[in-house]
Chain A
């Protein structure tokens, strides 16, 4: 579904993040793990977040929820308005009331979210009693229904199992069931299927899309898998070294990536079926590696790896600018909407 055809795309945002900055107080000094990130998500919409390992995706999600590990993480700037309330200004008790209730989250490793000493059913019951004020009987019935919804077979019996008694796929489903216990309006999912086999991943993605369609839940989906992004996202935010380098509707991002990093990312991934169309030559490489947070260059963080980098790129940090409506990028020489590079097209001679 493209953003344009999405029923909720024009609705007022459910979450509006502005200037989110998270610093890490490390022995070598303070570094920015999340650097001035802004975005918005409408009800029912899916915003995908991609970027290389260590670029700050998890830190961004944890910062929004007030659970970034402190030390070393300190949210040093920004606002995150969720339904009129600034999450970043909210006290811990207020955040706890929202987390697991109107905002749910799921992580890559289900064991971090599940209590190993408690049957999964009992864990869901606890969440329902705390957040929804259910009676025990009410909560137990709801727990079984949730486990059925995520298609755990024989749910009423399985509810009595401890996490270690479940297979990896079932644990993941139990975690999703728990996340959904309070009918959240926003789900933050950080690499929710990365550890799963493709057939189980397909089941999970279908399940999440289903729930979004039925309940209008918004989704912030963090993944490094461009396939998952293409299947799920309405819009995509590309991060590099803590910064947002591009944001666009999903089809536009794949067809007309504006930033050289996005371009490189798209070209470096082998695509299923490529050998059949004879397009499976050598993969495009992005030379070099991501700079460590304490050795970021002064200008564009991508400049040391970028074929287009010039003097300006090396000294002046590019600001986010629109290349098309709803499509912005932080690059001094972005691809234009006809797919050419700015400098090539204008013949800039630098």
Chain B
């Protein structure tokens, strides 16, 4: 996507942070869920966001849509800072940013028929005249591979894959420029997962919509992404073109993550040295210096005390490591 790199990004996060205040016994302390994340997203591009549970992926996604208000940092949509905008002014922009969740069932009103669910965005944003709404809904259903015969059904009458299609149709209703997919295919069976992944790719080709694709499944992220950002404890440690991440990972954490993925090839030698020790430390009290130093095979004194900045390497990738 090097051609896109030269263009203005569609969306840009600058030093985004979200700290959740703790309650009760831990009052006064915060969870540093996202702690200084910068990234860009270009039109028609998929940026994968990976990292272990609790590293802050969903929080980044929600903060970009201002579903939660960032503690600090800026979000620029087409160059406009949308972080400080009052909600009324933000609503115009909000249309262009949509999200699809892991569990479409919990985000679809169980008492509403599909027609009503898919018409709601048109009413809220008053984008489609009343008389054209049904045609528009049928068109949306067709886009996601469902027939008009589904209009009168309730969410519980659909399979998991079909519900996810409806979640995607709803996200598409207002012609968004960006869709955050937060573990959007993670709960689906593999055969159905393939259907939804192919659907997302086709939609991107047709509509030039950009995806922030959040997933813990590295093979899926590799399949669908143009660029990939790797997060650890609230921060991006490496952000690069897909090929750079998967052929030549540079951050020791990216390396460890990739090495840990079981590969569906039984002829590969087993018992490779691939196990990174320990678990992810708490984001309430992250390690000093480089946050990965407690598990990193390359860590030395400098890593324990100085936080490595995210710098751009000669090959264009962004990397936060003293040793690489």
Which chain A residues have a beta carbon within 8 Å of chain B's beta carbons? Answer: 1-2, 52-53, 167-170, 197-203, 205-206, 209, 224-231, 233, 250-251, 253-254, 264-266, 268-276, 280, 282-287, 289-290
Contact = CB atoms under 8 A, between A and B. Distances in A.
Contact of A224 (B52, B190, B219, B274): B190
A271 B266 CA distance: 13
A224 B194 contact: no
A225 B190 CA distance: 9
Nearest to B220: A270
Given A250-B266, A254-B265, A274-B223, A269 B194 contact: yes
30 contacts: A2-B266, A197-B52, A197-B280, A198-B257, A199-B52, A199-B275, A199-B279, A205-B262, A206-B271, A227-B261, A230-B262, A230-B266, A231-B266, A254-B265, A254-B266, A265-B191, A268-B191, A268-B193, A270-B220, A271-B265, A272-B222, A272-B246, A272-B258, A274-B222, A275-B246, A280-B222, A283-B198, A285-B198, A286-B191, A289-B192
A269 B264 contact: yes
Contact of A273 (B52, B246, B276, B277): B246
A52 B190 contact: yes
Contacts of A228: 262
A206 B227 CA distance: 31
B273 to A, nearest CB: 10
B263 interface: yes
B: interface residue count bin: 35 or more
Q: Which of B190, B260, B261, B276 has the most CB of A within 10 A?
A: B190
B62 interface: no
B222 A273 contact: yes
B164 to A, nearest CB: 12
Given A52-B189, A275-B246, A198 B261 contact: yes
Nearest to B253: A199
Nearest to B270: A231
A275 B247 CA distance: 9
B39 interface: no
B201 interface: yes
B268 A169 contact: no
